[in-house]
Amino acid sequence: MNAAAAWNGARAATRTVLGSRCVRWAVWLSLLYVVMDLLLSLEMGARGLLSPGGSIHPDAVVIGLACIAVRVVGRFAVPALLGFGLTCVVVERLVGTRRA
Amino acid sequence: MRAVAAFSAVAVCGIVTPAWCGTDADRWLDGDRVLGRSLADEAIAFEDQDDAAQAPSATNRFAGEWALVTHQMTALGLAQYCLAHPEDRAALAPQVTRAALKSFRKEMRRFGTDAWGGEDAMASLGGPHGHAYLAYAALAIGMARLLDPAFPPDVARQHDALIAAYERRLLASPTGLIETYPGEAYPTDTAAVAGAIAVHGRATGSDHAKVLARWAAMVQKVQIHAPSGFVYQRMDATTGKAHDAPRGSGTALAAYFAGFADRSVARQLAEGVFRHEATFSGFSGIREYADGTTGQGDIDSGPVLLGVSVSATGFALAPARAHGFRGAFERLYRTTDLFGAPESHGGRLRFRSGGAFGDAFLLAMLTSGPELAP
């Protein structure tokens, strides 16, 4: 198999996989996760949600809780969406091949 | 097809998510030097910033407690790391001393002095008042004396006097409890007193066996709520009457402090804590209240979500690691990773949600084990 055929095969496979709505959701959620993770790093620095004296940093709490919510949802939802979407793609292919 | 895909989604989520959040759990359990040092360096960096900032002393009780505990936990975490990695001891022992000395500063305990109507703990060593909050600093000072041959002798003498006062008060107590604030005794704080006394014995060669044996007996007899395995959060030091429910946050931290003084008491408390582990898909947390008791979150427990306490979950990492509850440690660590959001930056590790306070606490909890009493 030459490089061009491999490239075309990879593109076709990517198109097929991204054709799944679940996989597209997983990709968007992953992007949001990365952006929010970056935001968390920038916002928190070494501050955290609370100071060493126990007082709340209100701005950090708002942004931090949003970032952590995306982190929690992302870490559960991205693998689940990928698992669901890829299984659908594989099963559809298998069923399609058998019917053909 | 959808049923197969749904099953696949649940299976992938059940495998990938815990693995994703638990990548460092085994490294912490195995005492990975690089990982431990990266968090230690973050705590040291905070102490450097704190020196530069020279923050004013806190007058609010909770703010003061948190500031004292941040320095104390930094000292304890660094000391435990040194005991596990003696090759770094020469470099880090002065850092242990620096953090411990900060926790022992007069202005750092101002919240306790105010609570006792202006009576300073170090100016009233001959008196009957417990001032047990200062045991947190005394424990850190003891660990610094254990590790640092250059520990300042004048502070060592003050520490000797404080430990002698604690020993006398604890032997005189009918409940094995001494007061933290007027009318308020906390088994957790008294466990810190016992730990401070024990570490003082290891650092100086003094014999504290009698007082420690009495404290251990009283923990069993008075302070543990047998049906739950938790210690009461708050009690009367004279009568032993409970002023609060038996709770997870106090018990988990007491299990850590008790480890400095008596392994068997610490293990018993740890077993009590892990009876209240709530698990979900490879993650877990510690419930704040035992069955039959309810309550709100407070300064000790942090937020209580679905019955699980943030503080109890974090504190429980220490007894899980120290006493070999490997599975529980992995589950708790995954939760800590998920919500703590650790990040490596410039060769250092920080938990972004917790800030300096969280980093100091987690350094102590994640390196717990070498400090256990022989």
Average pLDDT estimate for A94-98: 73
**Does residue B174 lie in a domain region?**
yes
The C-alpha atoms of residue B305 and residue B241 are separated, in whole angstroms, by 28
pLDDT at A55 over 80: no
Decide: B77 and B100 in contact? Cβ < 8 Å. Answer: no
Chunked into runs of 10 residues, chain B (374 residues) has average pLDDT values of 85 92 96 97 93 65 77 97 97 97 93 95 96 97 97 98 98 96 97 98 97 97 96 96 95 98 98 96 95 83 89 97 97 96 92 90 97 94
Amino acid, single-letter form, for residue A62: V
Q: Which residues pair with B242 in a beta bridge?
A: B235
- Dihedral sign, CA of B75, B79, B81, B85? positive
The pLDDT value given to residue B129: 96
> What CATH number is attached to the domain comprising B334?
1.50.10
B155 burial via Cβ count (<10 Å: 0-12, 13-18, 19+): middle
Largest CA distance in chain A: 69
The answer to whether position B18 is within a domain reads no
Residue B17 within a domain: no
SS3 B177: coil
| Within-domain flag for B14 | no
Question: By the CB < 8 Å criterion, does A83 face chain B?
Answer: yes
- Residue B350 near residue B46, CB atoms below 8 Å: no
Measured over the CA atoms of residue A49, residue B290, residue B192 and residue B110, the dihedral's sign is positive
Answer whether residue B226 is part of any domain: yes
Instruction: Give a yes or no: residue B165 inside a domain.
Output: yes
Higher pLDDT, B15 or A100: B15
CA-based nearest residue to B37, from B84, B107, B100: B84
**Which of B254, B228, B224 has the alpha carbon at shortest distance from B319?**
B254
Instruction: State the total domains in chain B.
Output: 1
pLDDT digits (tens, 9 = 90+) for B323-350: 999 999 999 999 999 999 999 988 999 9
Given a cut of 80, whether residue A1 has pLDDT beyond it is no
Residue from the list A54, A75, A80 with its beta carbon closest to the beta carbon of B9: A80
Domain extent, residue B173, equals 23-366
Whether residue A8 has pLDDT greater than 90: no
In the DSSP assignment, the letter for residue B151 is -
Which residues on A lie below 8 Å from B22 (Cβ)?
A: none
Q: How confident is the model at residue A48 (pLDDT cuts 50, 70, 90)?
A: low
Give the pLDDT confidence of B275-309 residue by residue, as tens digits. 999 999 999 999 999 988 888 888 888 888 889 99
Alpha-carbon distance B365 to B269, whole Å?
15
B341 to chain A, any CB pair closer than 8 A? The answer is yes
Contact across the interface for A53 and B67, Cβ inside 8 Å: yes
Asked whether B2 and B266 are in contact (CB, 8 A), the reply is no
What pLDDT does residue A46 have? 58
- Does B4 reside within a domain? no
Contact B338 A48 (CB under 8 A): no
Residues B264-274 as b/e (b if ≥16 CB within 10 A, e otherwise) read: ebbbbbbebbb
Q: How many CA atoms lie within 13 A of B96 on its CB side?
A: 30
Q: State whether A48 and B70 contact (CB < 8 Å).
A: no
Looking at residue A43, its pLDDT comes to: 79
Q: pTM of the entire structure?
A: 0.91
CA distances from B168 to B57, B129, B206, B207, B214 (A): 30, 11, 14, 13, 12
In this structure, the strands spanning B348-351 and B308-309 are unpaired
8-state DSSP, B98 = H
Q: Does B345 touch chain A (CB under 8 A)?
A: yes
Compute the distance between CA of residue A72 and CA of residue A36 in angstroms, rounded to an integer.
11
Q: According to the model, what pLDDT value does residue A100 have?
A: 59
Please name the amino acid found at residue B218: M
Q: How many CB atoms lie within 10 A of CB B153?
A: 7
Interchain CB distance below 8 Å, A52 and B357: yes
**CB-based contact A87 B8, cutoff 8 Å:** yes
Q: Identify the pLDDT of residue A62.
A: 85
Q: Is B369 left (phi over 0), alpha (psi -120 to 50) or beta?
A: left
Closest of B302, B95, B42, B70 to residue A45, by C-alpha: B42
Q: Give the A:B interface size as CB pairs under 8 Å.
A: 117
Query: Residue B282, by phi and psi: left (phi above 0), alpha (psi -120 to 50) or beta?
Result: left
Asked if B338 and B351 count as a contact pair (C-beta separation under 8 A), the reply is no
Helix, strand and coil in chain A, % to nearest 5:
80, 0, 15
Structure tokens at A34: 């990365």
- 10 Å CB burial of residue B242 (0-12, 13-18, 19+) is middle
- Residue B235, domain member (yes or no): yes
Nearest partner of B131 among B154, B105, B165, B92, judged by Cα:
B165
Report the pLDDT value the prediction gives residue A52, as an integer from 0 to 100. Answer: 59
The continuous run of DSSP H or E covering B182 comes out as none
Strand partners, B279: B284
- Tell me if residue B213 falls in helix, strand or coil: helix
**Interface membership of B6 toward A (CB under 8 Å):** yes
